Amino acid sequence: MRCVLALAVLHFAIIYSWDIADAAEGSSVLSTLEARHPRLMLKDADLGWLRASYSEDPAMRKCVLDTCKDANDCLNLKPLVHRLEGPRLLSVSRDCLRRIYSLAMAYRWTGQERYAAKAKENLLEVCAFKDWNPSHFLDTAEMSHAVGVGYDWLFDYLDPQTRDKIRSALIEKGLKPGLEVYDKNGWWAKSEHNWNQVCNGGMIIGSLAIAETDPSYAERMIPAAVKSLPLALKSYGPDGAWGEGPGYWSYATHYTAYGLTALDTALGNTFGLLEIDGLSKAGSFPVYTAGPTGLYLNFADVGERSARRPMPCMFWLARTFHNPLYAYSEHEQIAQRSASAAHLVWYTASPRPSAARKKLDCYFRGPVEVVTMRSAWDDPNALFAGIKAGYNQVNHGHLDLGTFELDALGVRWARDLGSENYNLPGYWEGKRGGQRWSYYRLGSASHNVVTLNGQHQDPLAKSSFAKTEINGDRPFTVVELTEAYADQARSARRGLAMIEGRRAVLVQDELDIQKPCELTWGMTTDAEIDVKERTVAVLKLKGKELTVRLLSPQDVGFTVESAEQEPPQHRNEGVKRLVVRLPQASGNTCVAVLLSPRWNDGKAVETAEVKPLANW
């Protein structure tokens, strides 16, 4: 039944992408082109609306001041130079993008030519590069974005000779390499992950920037991009999750916002892309996957200790889909941290707190499934737990089905180590036996999962939540993990529950093991660990305390191991593993672990009933 459903969804996505492409090609793509500059994302009329609200909106004033401060910093930066890191020019492209947005926005807001002059200088620097590194096309796409926006926003300031230089470089170094990919139906145009949105978004912006003088690029690229984008945008369905993790959610969603906003402001048409299932719900993902510590449920190739930060695309999602929660969440961020020029592009006034209703728990379905639970909002000491299921082969994925993370008392107790160095040999070899899984951070042994005989989970395994009951007194979920351990177990499930009025977390694993093997239960932590009794471990971190109790089985106990590794991998200095080993596990085996913070009232949950997951 699930296969039939998956085929039906795929069929719909293919047909839908054809319909969208037909809409883009049905008439001249540029028949509705905005003739004047700036036409990309923030027209002069929109800027005027911002100015009219400036005096009455303190949050907007902060966005303007933060942008101008960054522009002032950019005035003193060294010239941009063509320098690769590994195979990538990406850091240079992103530096250029940041400079152009801040400087050009500051010029448009203040009229001070020093900002425009510096932006022009930066544009000419990158336009003189030998190339924008098309072999790693993200670099080319982001540079095309930067140059396209700079050309468009500064059009009236730039003299005709400078415009010609910039336009020529944009065509030769950005758009022509992009057309080659589209003409050959290259891999990123067929991908379902962040490369799709970033590359298509860069080409949309670059081609629309010069569409009145060189229309052939937009006439070919817009239909191709509009046909390609649904392949990735459908990955948000049905609930807004992103399989590559919260960090890549930000990257992919920002470029979704850039690309679709450019289509809207330049052409007045988004070709049905906004209606793709799941996109309207995408803003919930960073809200619910960030714990009270601010740290994300850190799965996949997300940066170590990745935390919720300002994300301008949340304003775009808020105003596009009329969701006050997304705007409110972003206003909370920019009140504490610096805003950027892109916040002004999509600026949305803060709604009343009562309009931004949040549930305690959330269940996201999709290529990667996620359940998060918490004891409270707006309490940095609240209890938070998140667990993931899904597909081990998702782009940027790790072998971590069923992994969990836990916050309490302002501390991340159970953690994920994050991504490794992308330049390590074989980092992207991800099928069976691939070198990718030889790196500690990517394989199963570093994650908060069970392993059998020290082996990784099956790299091709899929999993899903078999039963989930949330937003009640005892929220829980059960994840079906049999495929992950199919070589050694007839069945495998993990349950995670918040118990005793959401004051503790119970993690319970049940496996039917085919023949005797060593079962290892592990949890990664920064805490100091003191095994008080065989089945009781006390974790201490930042002056706080968490007690971990092994409720089942009772004939083994906790041990402490190091998560440190030798270079060239990350060292993971000071990181530990709290481990339970069953040397000869066989048949029906249950491992139940209670994680109980010592709350500020001095109390902690000391025990819990262990009953079969089937009875949860």
Q: How far apart (Å, rounded) are the C-alpha atoms in residues 548 and 598? A: 11
Q: Environment class of residue 546 by beta-carbon count within 10 Å: exposed (0-12), middle (13-18) or buried (19+)?
A: buried
Rounded Cα gap, residues 440 and 180, in angstroms:
38
Structure tokens at 428: 């992207």
Question: Which residues neighbour 385 within 8 Å (Cβ) at sequence distance 6 or greater?
Answer: 372, 373, 374, 404, 405, 406, 407, 496, 498, 505
Query: In the chain, where does the domain assigned CATH 2.70.98.70 lie?
Result: 362-615
Question: Which three-class secondary structure state does DSSP give residue 385?
Answer: strand
pLDDT given for residue 305 in this prediction: 86
pLDDT in the model for residue 303: 85
Residue 479 tokens, joined: 């994840």
Q: What separation in angstroms does the CA of 463 have from each of 387, 481, 487, 510?
A: 12, 5, 15, 15
For residue 369, give the nearest of 237, 497, 529, 486 by alpha carbon.
Answer: 237
Residues 6+ positions from 80 with CB-CB distance below 8 Å:
92, 95, 96, 99, 122, 125, 126
Rounded to 5°, angle at Cα 344 from 340 and 349: 115
Is the separation of the CB atoms in 146 and 80 below 8 Å? no
At 180 the three-state DSSP class reads helix
Please give the CATH architecture assigned to the domain spanning 362-615: Distorted Sandwich (2.70)
According to DSSP, the residues that pair with 520 across neighbouring strands are 451, 581
Nearest-5° Cα angle at 217, 216 to 222: 110
Position 465 scores a pLDDT of: 97
Query: Which of the 8 DSSP states describes residue 585?
Result: E
User: How many residues are given for the chain?
Assistant: 616
The residue whose two tokens read 């796409």 is 141
pLDDT at 302: 87
The rounded distance, in Å, linking the Cα atoms of 164 and 443 is: 51
CA dist 585 and 553 (Å) reads: 11
Per-residue pLDDT at 20: 53
Of 240, 115, 253, 126, residue with least CA distance to 194:
253
Query: With contact defined as beta carbons under 8 Å apart, do 2 and 10 qualify?
Result: no
**How many C-beta neighbours within 10 Å does residue 268 have?**
10
The pLDDT score that the predictor gives to residue 13 is 45
Structure tokens at 220: 């070919």
Contact predicate 378/332, CB 8 Å = no
Q: How far apart are CA 516 and CA 381, in angstroms?
A: 42
Q: So what's the pLDDT on residue 428? A: 84
Q: What is the mean pLDDT of each run of 10 residues along the chain (616 residues)?
A: 39 46 66 97 97 96 98 98 96 98 98 98 98 98 98 98 98 98 97 97 98 97 98 97 93 98 98 98 97 95 89 98 97 97 97 89 94 97 98 93 98 96 87 85 97 96 97 97 97 98 98 97 98 95 98 96 97 98 97 97 93 97
Q: What is the pLDDT at residue 123?
A: 98
Phi, psi (deg, nearest 5) at residue 517: -155, 170
Outline which parts of the chain fall under CATH 1.50.10.100. 2-355
Angle of helix 324-336 relative to helix 313-321, nearest 10 degrees? 160
Cis peptide before 459 (omega within 30 of 0): no
| Residue 493 backbone class (left: φ over 0; alpha: ψ -120 to 50; beta: rest) | beta
Confidence at residue 282, expressed as pLDDT on a 0 to 100 scale:
97
Please tell me the CATH code under which domain 2-355 is placed. 1.50.10.100
Residues 6+ apart with CB under 8 A from 87: 133, 135, 136, 423
Largest CA distance in the chain: 81
